[in-house]
Structure 1
Amino acid sequence: MTIPARSAIFSLSNELDSSPPGAPEDAAPALLSGPDGKRDCFVHRITSGGLSLTVTGPVSHGERATIELPFGLAAEGWIDGHDPARLAFRFDQPLDVVGALARCLAALPAERRQMPRIELRQRLCVRHSGQADFGWTRNLSPAGIGIETRAPLAVGEAVELTLDGLRPLVGEVRWTERGQAGVAFAEELGWQTLMPWLRKVANSTPRAATPTIDLPPSALGAVKDALRLDLPTHVRSGVSWWNAQLSALSNALVEFESATEFAPLSSLWMSLPEIGGWPIRVIECHGARHIAEFRVPLRPHEMAKLTEAVRPR
């Protein structure tokens, strides 16, 4: 079977429905083998639980079949739906989506190797025009990203995006519509970087709901001159960055929350408003909440900058 230059959308979501097909370029030709023989079909979206497809000819709901994808992967399952133009195919066994994506890339000739669009929902921080806001990813490719955000972005605006575990990504807003936006990266995100990160995302276990427990009092609770904050920030370990929420700080200590738990004695860099990167060392971790010490205490003029940065406008 000919390997197409573009492929189906690969989704890290387990959700699958028989939604209408997407754009023609986001589809891969495949073969559906069932009781009536083999039929041509187009696969539009691949998840761990199944895929969405369109088929030539009539189909029967519940029909057993085997789908043969154009990169040497076959899976058994059954047809969910009646309309050949909008069907779901449910796998008998969960599919390793990142592994399937790797096989798709390996099957393409080097001169045509282009990573398909990937659906995923990950928190990110959007920095724009001196502001920082949290948002969520919708889809990602080496060339750009689709996001959901309440930030008032404008077409042509320069932004910096931080996703947990990746370096900050600089780009330009290409379109906006009702809380969604598309951003083109200034520098393409290579698949050599993207694939290991996607594997970590796929293997990560969503944080379970934290039971209601009494956390120990904050180390900053009794500090008279501590600043109470509610600001997005990020922390760096090595070459990777993680999103965080600043809760409070003094000249010696800082409290922040992060979906990633950093062990006590972890050395990090934290981005501080109006100041920039600052070295910190974690001294306490209680789930998402962290207390860290500044390796170099903040001086009075730096505390003054932070006070001004959080002052209501």
Structure 2
Amino acid sequence: MFASLIRRKPVADPAQMENALESTTFSLTTAVPRPPERRADERLTPLLRIAKIKSNAGEQLMRIRNVSAGGLMAECSHLLEVGEAVKVEFSSQLIPSSIVWIRDGLIGVKFDQNLDLGELLAGRKPRHGFRTRPPRLEVNCKASVQVGKMYYTVDVQDISLAGLKVEPIDERCLDQKVVVVVESLRPIRGEVRWYSNRTAGILFDKPLAFEELAEWVGKRLELASLKAAYKRG
């Protein structure tokens, strides 16, 4: 009888179990999350939450692995210094923080004040009819935008995994398919989704990988740091 009961016991769907793991972990403690003893399975990283961190060097993306009321642990391509003051943009909030540890491409960030995680999570729920927008990085670089047989040289105002904002560009480009070439990035296909006062928003046909954009931003931050050090010297 027990054997039949065991056989009839419903088995959890492996896909559901995997999906349950493919997200940032939230902890109700106030301690800053610590680095793991071994790296997590690479299959789990693509769906972790993406946030923005600001330092004196500039802005960059980070992929959050664990969040508590007191801080977070995240992957960061351009490593910061322990003790450095930063600001974390997470769930549309700008949170003053500091770096408390660094290990193997991971950083530990301590919030200056403990957060209400319930409010933070509630803030991440998209309103009806709206999608959560990926964090955008303010950049200052040139790009080439191809629209049919026309080419525009534009300034990039900001960029995210999903798209970018450029200027100047013509209104006739609205709703047109484009190919964008940003400095040091591969050509990216997309579409001009909105236009206002010679400024346009381009949505990529396929979002950039976190690693690709993070590496690009990291190289720009390193170059900026070298230039600043050269001027001081």
TM-score by length of 2: 0.45
- Structure 1 or 2: more strand by fraction: 1
Rg bigger for which structure? 1
If asked which structure has higher relative contact order (CA below 8 Å, sep 6+), I would say 2
- Structure 1 or 2: more helix by fraction: 2
